């Protein structure tokens, strides 16, 4: 049957908003075309059922895990704790699930026939997971043959709350692919509303880039989440396995791809838990660098008071990362008009901090001494110390360096005049 004829036959199955709930509750009907699917018994043995609409169909596989199941360093029950912890969060954050229940969160991942975008790239597996009070349910919608995307998207869009999807780089890849394919069949499946979602990829980059060469999910699993895959099919092999399935219809390789997709989804649950525990200080342990990155992320998202608390925790420790925390905390004090606190921190920082921090700190101290405390002598001393450090550390001149030195000389000249004026006209 041609795709055009299939589309025509599907018009009567168009779901409108008023009868969407009724359609969700209706089980799919197995027709002859689906019954003749090769290896159907093997599909059923692996938890798959047929989602059939008027002779066209997809396969839907469901896997369940108990709530106490451990995936890496966390159990799925910890995810419920994470969502509950957000309910008391007073700020705003892109990962905040405040106002949501844990059952409203859907963890979403796809497998496609290629790594690029565009109409030619087809999604052949749509996977999602959700957490109930007693278990985790992973559901996967599989495209058994090209041209059967109507039942694929019909089954997916009829049963998922796509306003609360949790993905790993889904905003840049997975969801644009869904939108592209949906456009081709939009008159025959439920409509695609605005995408509300939580993307954990960006959180991983913020918190783990200092310790990971790559923040691919498999690396985050091993190095951060304490989960190691065994005999996993690499994601880049998924397209070849799918094309082999289309030719031979033997689902053995597809089951391995489904397991890979399933592990991705479970890891998203664990990763969301870990990121939440770090952000909300629910974790059992975290390095100073991780707490520092959390502080920066909180500050970036407008949660300045919470970020200050993180920085204050860090500087109680004797660790080299505390210089960065001390500097950012001092900047916070300066913004809050607590100049003396800023000066105290910066004075503790500049002598032993890395050059990149020392350069900024000495200039900040010179500014505060000149304009706030009117201690021109100390301001001049900090300028001279900064100049000496630059002359010793800078190997090659640049225009930016020359401009900086020129501004520093101008500041020194101004301070010298102010000091001379105070000498000529003592109070």
Distance CA 10, CA 356 (A): 64
Which residues share a beta bridge with 111?
A: 125
| Tokens linked to 231 | 């005999």
pLDDT band at 159 (very low <50, low <70, confident <90, very high): confident
Closest by alpha carbon to 358, among 367, 349, 345? Answer: 349
Q: pLDDT tens digits, residue range 111-158?
A: 988 755 444 578 899 999 999 999 999 999 999 988 888 888 888 887
Non-local CB neighbours of 6 within 8 Å, separated by 6+ positions? 56, 147, 150
Give CA–CA dist 347/27, Å, rounded.
70
Q: What is the DSSP letter of 350?
A: T
Q: Domains, the chain, ranges and CATH?
A: 3-279 (3.30.420.10), 288-424 (1.25.40.10)
Q: Is the pLDDT of residue 32 over 60?
A: no
- Looking at residue 364, the DSSP 8-state letter turns out to be H
Number of CB atoms found within 10 A of residue 409's CB: 12
Q: How confident is the model at residue 419 (pLDDT cuts 50, 70, 90)?
A: confident
> For 47-105, how does the pLDDT look when each residue is reduced to its tens digit (9 = 90+)?
999 998 878 899 999 999 999 999 999 999 999 999 999 999 999 999 999 999 999 99
Alpha-carbon gap, residue 53 to 153, rounded angstroms: 12
Is pLDDT of 9 > 60? no
At 248-279, the pLDDT tens digits run 999 999 999 999 999 999 999 999 999 999 99
**Two structure tokens written together for 215:** 């923040």
Pairing of strands 165-167, 135-142: unpaired
pLDDT tier, 161 (very low <50, low <70, confident <90, very high otherwise) = low
């Amino acid at each position: 049957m041609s795709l055009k004829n299939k589309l025509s036959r599907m018009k009567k199955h168009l779901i409108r908003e008023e009868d969407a709930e009724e359609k969700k509750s209706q089980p799919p009907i197995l027709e002859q075309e689906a019954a003749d699917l090769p290896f159907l018994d093997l599909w059923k043995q692996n938890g798959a059922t047929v989602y059939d609409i008027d002779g066209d169909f997809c396969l839907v596989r469901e896997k369940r895990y108990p709530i106490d199941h451990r995936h890496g360093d966390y159990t799925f029950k910890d995810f419920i704790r994470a969502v509950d912890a957000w309910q008391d969060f007073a700020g705003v954050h892109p990962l905040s699930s405040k106002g949501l229940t844990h059952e409203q969160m859907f963890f979403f991942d796809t497998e496609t026939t290629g790594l690029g975008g565009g109409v030619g790239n087809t999604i052949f597996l749509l996977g999602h997971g959700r957490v109930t009070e007693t278990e985790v349910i992973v559901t996967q919608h599989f495209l058994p043959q090209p041209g059967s995307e109507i039942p694929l998207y019909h089954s997916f869009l009829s049963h998922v709350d796509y306003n609360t999807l949790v993905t790993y780089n889904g905003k840049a890849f997975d969801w644009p692919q869904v939108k592209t394919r949906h456009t081709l069949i939009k008159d025959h499946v439920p409509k695609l509303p605005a995408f509300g979602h939580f993307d954990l990829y960006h959180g991983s980059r913020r918190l783990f880039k200092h310790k990971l060469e790559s923040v691919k999910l498999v690396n985050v699993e091993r190095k951060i989440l304490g989960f190691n895959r065994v005999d996993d099919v690499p994601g880049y092999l998924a397209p070849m396995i799918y094309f082999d399935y289309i030719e031979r219809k033997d689902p053995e390789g597809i089951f391995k791809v489904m397991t890979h997709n399933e592990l991705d989804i479970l890891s998203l649950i664990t990763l969301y838990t870990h990121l939440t525990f770090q952000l909300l200080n629910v974790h059992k342990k975290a390095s100073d660098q991780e707490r520092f990155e959390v502080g920066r992320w909180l500050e970036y998202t407008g949660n300045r008071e919470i970020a200050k608390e993180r920085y204050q925790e860090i500087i109680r420790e004797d660790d080299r990362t505390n210089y960065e925390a001390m500097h950012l905390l001092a900047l916070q004090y300066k913004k809050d008009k607590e100049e003396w606190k800023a000066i105290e921190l910066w004075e503790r920082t500049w002598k032993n901090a890395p050059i990149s921090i020392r350069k900024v700190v000495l200039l900040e101290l010179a500014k505060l001494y000149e304009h706030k405390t009117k201690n021109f002598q100390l301001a001049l001393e900090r300028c001279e110390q900064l100049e000496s450090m630059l002359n010793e550390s800078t190997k090659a001149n640049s225009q930016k360096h020359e401009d900086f030195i020129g501004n520093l000389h101008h500041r020194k000249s101004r301070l010298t005049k102010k000091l001379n004026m105070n000498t000529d006209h003592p109070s």
